[in-house]
A and B are shown apart, each in its own frame.
Chain A
Amino acid sequence: MLLKRLAAASLFTGLMGSAAFAANCGPEGQSIRILASDFPAIHAVVGAAEANCAGSAEEFSANHTTEARQIMNAALTPNPAEYTSVILANATLTQLMNDGLVRPLNDLVEKYKDSIPPNVLITIDGNVMAVAFMANSQHLFSRKDILEQAGVDSIPASYEEVLEAAEKIRAAGIMEHPIAMNLQTGWNVGEVFNMIYLGHGGEFFAPGSAEPSINNEQGIATLETMKALAEYAHPDHLTHASNETQGLWESGQAALAVMWGSRGAPILDDEGSTEEVTSNTVLSAAPTVGGGSIPAATLWWDGISIASNVSDEEAEATFAALISGLNPEMVAENNDDAVWLLPGFEPGPAAAGVAGTVQGGARPYPMIPQIGLLHAALGSELTDFLKGGESAEQALSDVETAYRTSAKEAGFLK
């Protein structure tokens, strides 16, 4: 609607840069270059920024790529940087901050505070490093028809109940492998460990240091939970990431799944699945585990950052343009594409899982400089345990030694 109104305005009045009247776009004639991941919610934000402020900028370009994480450090290192802004998340902010490639936004936030919604500033030691606009986390997807059929009368709230329900479904002969999880070797299996470990109340590092601290009771309990879940997962689970688990779900081959919130809308829409599956899919908070009180999940946000190695004018123009994109009209038009942290958002059924997980007090994915190295070590060393060739203690000690080796090389440990 906004787009149409703006187009009409510029058409009839012939005013130059009508968009600039609608939104505060900061200094004019600057170059705005954005690097971002490739999914609908981020296209929406960048698209809205472009509609508002491309007219008053000399250049407005956006590179949406799934490889954003791989190229961002290299692209922001030269001066001037290749991009003026990266749309990033918890983990990628640390990755850029480790090399000092994003700038503190305090004065920009002060200047544009009227357009910035409350509670979205990512502050580290008093410096605003990013402005978040959407949330994401893993949570539970359940098929209520199959649960009823198997005699489970409520949606499972803990992993213990998930396992119990899975056993009932299997025993009733409905499905041999009712659970779907992203257990692909590498980043995904590491992330499953992270969320269940946080659910057990674990800490990844000794406080204030880079020494790993996962080889403990919570770590072992986490691995036991993962193995129990894998027993009920499709035999190919070590190759399953989001696309595969979504496929299993949409084809009706799973009854309980822990998947990303961002998969909620695509699963509930009328494409790629049957009425039977979509109408019986219930999204709920991530399960708790081991008697813990918080959902076992990692909370993620996506937000705006501004590169260090660009001129102050370019930085301001980019910031103003992107902030102008975070308006209620954009949210209204793309309501179901994300769990927006912005005013105007009306949580629909697709947002129920993430909302429940956030309200349950799940912990955010840690923003610790060396977490990427530990995550990578988890990703490559845990599969031996899941395959059954190794004890939990051995797997965790392998993770710690693998992490120590790479952390020494990266300079985090002596």
Chain B
Amino acid sequence: MKHRTFFWFILPTLSAMILFIALPIVSVFLQSLFVEHEQVLVVSESCGPFGCTPTTTVDTAATAALQEEQPLGRYNGLNTYINRSHLAFVEVGEAWRSTETFGAFWKQIINLPFYRALIFTLTYTAVVTPVVIALGLAIAVGVNNLPRILKGPSIFISLLPFLVTPLVGSLILFWMVDSDGVIGATIQRIFNDPSLSLKASTALTWTMLIVYGVWHTLPFSFITFYAGLQTVPEDTMEAAMIDGASKWQRMIHVVVPHLAPLMSFVTLMLLMDNFRVFEPIVSFKAEAHATSLSWIIYNDLRESGNPLYGSAGATSMMTIIGVVILLTPVLIRTWRDFSRKAH
């Protein structure tokens, strides 16, 4: 394709991407560099049905004047990125100096909101991604080997978890694992411990979130691999059979290499999705035991009634950087495969 033709061909997509992806990211980055104006507080008295109390109020006229002067707020550079709510350089340094053992240091680190969220987010991503790929492939191969009449219904059933909205799906599971719910009560009976609660322990909450994550994303990898399996060349399979390869050997040496590009694709998508884990934490009310980067953004914007745009922007930027770091190995691999084929 000529460069000129290519340019006109790509222009609509490119402009949409700039408008809806690149510019918002630039805007979020800019906002993360600013903090709000100083609030001009005045001491006053508030009275109501329950009597009078001394209080403070914001002098809105004075604050509005400051806002007029600098509409974006006060420039804060990268300070939001390194404050206690984010990378917490000062606190981490202090913890490093003041602690003797690594255990004590670690305890102080996980007391910091960003690192606590990062640890859960990474664990979730690191467990859910490979499990979903392996199980998805296994189910796809299994379904592919079913008699024709059973294939349709089993594909439909395997896709069901994907059809349920994440928020609703996790809410249903949340009620089921309640100590009065069907799963929670059964587990209590099995272990004969009436105070056993899936929601009260950090380890069990993490397990629950991870199991939910696997359940919910499995259909995606299953259906992709199932589609890939339809393109495995018959000739190669027959040749392998004639050479005396067992079913397992054919799987490892023919099917898996054939599906390798698809695996890169599924890994990319899963890494991105899992790193943004959010809905199950809210639905499972798991905030006491597990938080994620996306949850921090949500919390900053919502919880205090005074949205912290700078904080939310900084966490968003760091989420993007995190995704890029995670994806780099996969992207490098894809690029190598691509250039090898090109030569």
Contacts of A401 in B (CB 8 A): 84
17 interchain pairs (CB within 8 A)? A122-B48, A124-B55, A235-B195, A362-B50, A370-B39, A375-B304, A376-B299, A376-B303, A380-B299, A394-B111, A405-B83, A408-B83, A410-B36, A410-B308, A411-B37, A411-B38, A411-B74
Q: Give Cα A210–Cα B180 distance, bound, in whole angstroms.
A: 44
User: Which of the candidate stretches B56-64, B221-229, B255-263, B330-338 sits at the interface with the other chain?
Assistant: B56-64
Q: Map CB proximity to A onto B45-85 as digits: 1 under 8 Å, 0 otherwise.
A: 11111110111111011011000000000101000100111
Are A98 and B304 in contact, CB atoms less than 8 angstroms apart?
Answer: no
One of B111, B194, B284 near A390 (C-beta < 8 A): B111
Contacting residues of chain B (177-227) with chain A, CB-CB under 8 angstroms: 178-180, 194-197, 199-200, 202
Q: Give Cα A209–Cα B48 distance, bound, in whole angstroms.
A: 22
> Counting CB contacts under 8 A, is A384 at the interface?
yes
> Counting CB contacts under 8 A, is A199 at the interface?
no
The closest CB in chain B to the CB of A377 belongs to B304
A-B contacts at CB below 8 angstroms, number:
174
Given A185-B285, A238-B288, A414-B38, A123-B46 contact (CB < 8 Å):
yes
Q: Give Cα A386–Cα B194 distance, bound, in whole angstroms.
A: 21
Given A98-B306, A207-B54, A364-B50, A185-B287 contact (CB < 8 Å):
yes
Are B46 and A95 in contact, CB atoms less than 8 angstroms apart?
Answer: no
> Counting CB contacts under 8 A, is A368 at the interface?
yes
14 additional contacts (CB under 8 A) given A98-B60, A341-B49: A122-B49, A124-B45, A187-B303, A234-B179, A238-B288, A358-B50, A364-B48, A373-B304, A375-B304, A380-B299, A409-B36, A410-B304, A411-B38, A411-B74
Given A123-B48, A405-B83, A406-B311, A98-B39 contact (CB < 8 Å):
yes
**Chain A: residues with CB nearer than 8 A to chain B?**
69-70, 73, 91-92, 95, 97-100, 119-125, 132, 135, 176-177, 184-187, 207-210, 234-236, 238-239, 251, 299, 301, 341, 358, 362-364, 366-370, 372-373, 375-376, 379-380, 383-384, 386-387, 390, 394, 398, 401-402, 405-406, 408-412, 414
Given A124-B46, A299-B50, A410-B36, A398-B308 contact (CB < 8 Å):
no
Q: Give Cα A372–Cα B53 distance, bound, in whole angstroms.
A: 18
Q: Give Cα A119–Cα B47 distance, bound, in whole angstroms.
A: 9
Q: Give Cα A70–Cα B301 distance, bound, in whole angstroms.
A: 9
> Counting CB contacts under 8 A, is B103 at the interface?
no
Q: Give Cα A411–Cα B63 distance, bound, in whole angstroms.
A: 10
Are B56 and A368 in contact, CB atoms less than 8 angstroms apart?
Answer: yes
Contacts of A364 in B (CB 8 A): 48, 50-51, 53
Most chain A CB neighbours (cut-off 10 Å) among B80, B288, B303:
B288
Are A409 and B49 in contact, CB atoms less than 8 angstroms apart?
Answer: no
One of A122, A209, A366, A380 near B287 (C-beta < 8 A): A380
Are A184 and B285 in contact, CB atoms less than 8 angstroms apart?
Answer: yes
Q: Give Cα A358–Cα B195 distance, bound, in whole angstroms.
A: 37
Return B29 CB to nearest CB of chain A, in Å: 16
The closest CB in chain B to the CB of A401 belongs to B84
Return A373 CB to nearest CB of chain B, in Å: 5
Contacting residues of chain B (82-116) with chain A, CB-CB under 8 angstroms: 83-85, 111, 113
Q: Give Cα A187–Cα B303 distance, bound, in whole angstroms.
A: 8
Q: Give Cα A100–Cα B39 distance, bound, in whole angstroms.
A: 12
Given A124-B44, A373-B304, A409-B84 contact (CB < 8 Å):
no
The closest CB in chain B to the CB of A123 belongs to B47
Contacts of B35 in A (CB 8 A): 408-411
Q: Give Cα A239–Cα B199 distance, bound, in whole angstroms.
A: 8
Are A70 and B302 in contact, CB atoms less than 8 angstroms apart?
Answer: yes
> Counting CB contacts under 8 A, is B43 at the interface?
yes
Are B58 and A97 in contact, CB atoms less than 8 angstroms apart?
Answer: yes
> Counting CB contacts under 8 A, is B41 at the interface?
yes
Return B265 CB to nearest CB of chain A, in Å: 37
Q: Give Cα A362–Cα B57 distance, bound, in whole angstroms.
A: 22
The closest CB in chain A to the CB of B296 belongs to A380
One of A121, A402, A410 near B48 (C-beta < 8 A): A121
The closest CB in chain A to the CB of B84 belongs to A405
Are B54 and A369 in contact, CB atoms less than 8 angstroms apart?
Answer: no
Given A210-B41, A390-B111, A402-B306 contact (CB < 8 Å):
no
> Counting CB contacts under 8 A, is B305 at the interface?
yes
Are A236 and B199 in contact, CB atoms less than 8 angstroms apart?
Answer: yes
Given A185-B288, A369-B56, A132-B179 contact (CB < 8 Å):
no
Are B311 and A372 in contact, CB atoms less than 8 angstroms apart?
Answer: no
Are B83 and A412 in contact, CB atoms less than 8 angstroms apart?
Answer: no
Are A369 and B288 in contact, CB atoms less than 8 angstroms apart?
Answer: no
The closest CB in chain A to the CB of B88 belongs to A405
> Counting CB contacts under 8 A, is B280 at the interface?
no
The closest CB in chain B to the CB of A237 belongs to B200
Q: Give Cα A225–Cα B45 distance, bound, in whole angstroms.
A: 31
Given A70-B302, A125-B57, A380-B113, A369-B287 contact (CB < 8 Å):
no
One of B44, B64, B179, B194 near A236 (C-beta < 8 A): B179
Contacts of A187 in B (CB 8 A): 303
Return B245 CB to nearest CB of chain A, in Å: 53
Are B305 and A95 in contact, CB atoms less than 8 angstroms apart?
Answer: yes
Q: Give Cα A363–Cα B55 distance, bound, in whole angstroms.
A: 13
> Counting CB contacts under 8 A, is B136 at the interface?
no
Return A97 CB to nearest CB of chain B, in Å: 6
Return B343 CB to nearest CB of chain A, in Å: 52
The closest CB in chain B to the CB of A205 belongs to B56
Most chain B CB neighbours (cut-off 10 Å) among A207, A251, A341, A406:
A406
Return B312 CB to nearest CB of chain A, in Å: 10
Are B288 and A239 in contact, CB atoms less than 8 angstroms apart?
Answer: yes
Contacts of A124 in B (CB 8 A): 44-47, 55, 57
Contacts of A341 in B (CB 8 A): 49
Contacts of B56 in A (CB 8 A): 208-210, 368-369
Q: Give Cα A301–Cα B48 distance, bound, in whole angstroms.
A: 9
Are B38 and A398 in contact, CB atoms less than 8 angstroms apart?
Answer: no
Contacts of A121 in B (CB 8 A): 47-48
Are A236 and B299 in contact, CB atoms less than 8 angstroms apart?
Answer: no
Q: Give Cα A124–Cα B284 distance, bound, in whole angstroms.
A: 40
Are B57 and A236 in contact, CB atoms less than 8 angstroms apart?
Answer: no
Contacts of B53 in A (CB 8 A): 363-364, 366-367
